[in-house]
Structure 1
Amino acid sequence: MKLEQLRSFEAVARIGHFTRAAEELYLAQPSLSRQIGALEAELDTPLLRRNPAGVTLTAAGETLLPIARRMLADARSAREQLDELAGLRRGRVRLGAPPTLCVSLVAEVLAAFRIAHPGIDLHITEAGSRVLVEALNAGELDLALVVIRGAEATAPGTELQPLLSEELVVVSAASGPAPRRRSGGTAGASGELSLRDLAELPQVAFSRSYDLRVATDAAFSAAGLAPTIAVEGAEMDAVLRFVERGIGVAVVPAMVVSDRPGLRSTRLVRPQLTRTVALARRTDVAPSAAMTAMLQQVFETVDALAMPGIAATARRS
Structure 2
Amino acid sequence: MTMKMDQLRSFETVARVGHFTRAAEQLYLAQPSLSRQIAALEADLGMPLFHRGPSGATLTSAGELLLPIARRILGDAQTAREQMNELAGLRRGSVRLGATPTLCVSLVADVLAAFRREHPGVELHVTEGGSRFLVEALNENALDLALVVTRGVDPGVPGTELIPLLTEELVVVSAVGTGASESYTLEELARIPQVAFNRSYDLRVATDAAFSASGLKPVIAVEGAEMDAVLRFVERGLGVAVVPAMVVIDRPGLHSARLINPSLARTVNLARRDDVRPSAAAAAMQQFVFDAVDRLAAPGTVLARMVTPTPRVQ
Structure 2 length-normalised TM = 0.90
Deviates more, 1:306-315 or 1:232-241: 232-241
Q: Distance in 1 between matches of 2:110 and 2:22?
A: 36
Q: Match of 2:276, as an amino acid?
A: V
**1:114 to partner: Cα distance:** 1.3
Q: Distance in 2 between matches of 1:265 and 1:283?
A: 38
Q: Percent identity?
A: 72
Give me the whole-angstrom Cα distance separating, in 2, the residues matched to 1:294 and 1:73: 18
Does the aligned pair in 1 maintain the 2:96–2:125 contact within 8 Å? yes
Q: CA-to-partner distance for each residue in 1:11-53, whole Å, 9 max, x for gaps?
A: 2222233333223222233332332233233333332333344
Q: Is the 8 A contact 1:203 1:228 kept in 2?
A: yes
Residues 240 and 72 of structure 1, relative CA distance in 2, 3 Å threshold = same
How many residue pairs get aligned? The number is 306
Aligned in 2, Cα 1:168/1:34: closer, same or farther, shift over 3 Å? same
AA of the residue aligned to 1:18: F
Contact 2:163 2:312 in 1 (8 A): no
CA distance in 1, matches of 2:90, 2:125: 19
Distance 1:243 1:51 in 2: 43
Q: Provide the rounded CA distance (Å) in 2 between the counterparts of 1:3 and 1:154.
A: 32
Counterpart residue number, 2:96 = 94
Counterpart-to-counterpart distance in 1, 2:171 and 2:107: 16
Assess, with a 3 A threshold, how the Cα gap between structure 1 residues 172 and 3 changes in structure 2: closer, same or farther.
Answer: same
Partner of residue 260, structure 1: 251
C-alpha spacing 1:28/1:217, structure 2 compared with 1 (3 Å): same
Max Rg structure: 1
| Change beyond 3 A, Cα 1:245–1:47 | closer
For 2:290, the equivalent position in structure 1 comes to 299
Cα offset, 1:154, TM superposition = 6.6
Name the stretch that deviates more: 11-20 or 149-158: 149-158
Distance in 2, matches of 1:108 and 1:67, equals 34
CA distance in 2: counterparts of 1:222 and 1:70, whole angstroms: 40
Q: 1:219 to 1:87 in 2, by over 3 A?
A: closer
Question: Is contact 2:7-2:38 (8 Å) kept?
Answer: yes
Write the mapping of 1:141-180 to structure 2, written as runs, cut at 5 A. 141-152=143-154, 156-179=158-181
Task: Kindly state the Cα deviation for residue 155 of structure 1 after the two structures are TM-superposed.
Answer: 5.4
Match of 2:192 among 194, 201, 211: 201
Change beyond 3 A, Cα 1:147–1:86:
closer
Which amino acid counterpart does residue 276 of structure 1 have in structure 2? T
Residue 311 in structure 1 maps to residue 311 in structure 2? no
Higher mean C-alpha deviation, range 70-79 or range 249-258: 249-258
RMSD (CA atoms): 2.0
Once residues 96 and 232 of structure 2 are traced to their aligned partners in structure 1, the CA distance between those partners, rounded to angstroms, is: 29
**Alpha-carbon shift at residue 133 of structure 1 (Å):** 2.0
Task: Output the amino acid matched with 1:309.
Answer: M
The CA deviation string for residues 50-86 of structure 1, in whole angstroms up to 9 with x for no partner, is 3344322222211111010110011111112212325
Give the AA of the match of 2:310: T
In structure 2, give the amino acid aligned to 1:174. V
Q: How far apart are the structure 1 equivalents of 2:187 and 2:154?
A: 29
Q: Distance in 1 between matches of 2:240 and 2:52?
A: 51
What secondary structure sits across from 1:285 in the alignment?
coil
Find the counterpart in structure 1 of residue 301 from structure 2: none
Cα distance change of structure 1 residues 20 and 104 upon mapping to structure 2, 3 Å threshold: closer
- Residues 157, 282 of structure 1: 8 Å contact kept: yes
Match of 1:30 in 2: 32
For residue 309 of structure 2, what is the amino acid of its counterpart? A
Q: State the shift of 1:276 in Å.
A: 1.0
Deviation at 1:257, TM superposition (A): 2.1
Give the aligned partner of residue 204 of structure 2.
213
Which residue matches 1:133? 135
Question: How far, CA to CA, are the matches of 1:110 and 1:311 in structure 2?
Answer: 22
Residues 51/153 of structure 1: CA separation in 2 closer, same or farther (3 Å cut): farther
**Equivalent position of 1:235 in the other structure:** 226
Contact 1:165/1:277 (8 A) holds in 2:
yes
Tell me what 1:250 maps to: 241
1:87 is displaced (CA, Å) by 5.1
- Which whole-Å CA distance do the structure 2 matches of 1:13 and 1:173 have between them? 43
2:175·2:235 contact (CA, 8 Å) conserved in 1? Answer: yes
Distance 1:56 1:245 in 2: 42
Q: Mind listing any 5+ residue stretches in structure 1 that lack a counterpart? A: 180-190
Q: Hey, what does 1:48 align to over in structure 2?
A: 50
Aligned 8 A contact 1:299 1:316 in 2: no
Q: How many Å separate the matches in 2 of 1:50 and 1:234? A: 34
User: Could you tell me which amino acid in structure 1 is paired with residue 10 of structure 2?
Assistant: S
The answer on whether the counterparts of 2:90 and 2:122 sit within 8 Å (CA) in structure 1 is no
Q: Does the CA contact (< 8 Å) of 1:146 and 1:279 recur in 2?
A: yes
Q: Distance in 2 between matches of 1:252 and 1:18?
A: 39
Contact 1:170 1:249 in 2 (8 A): yes
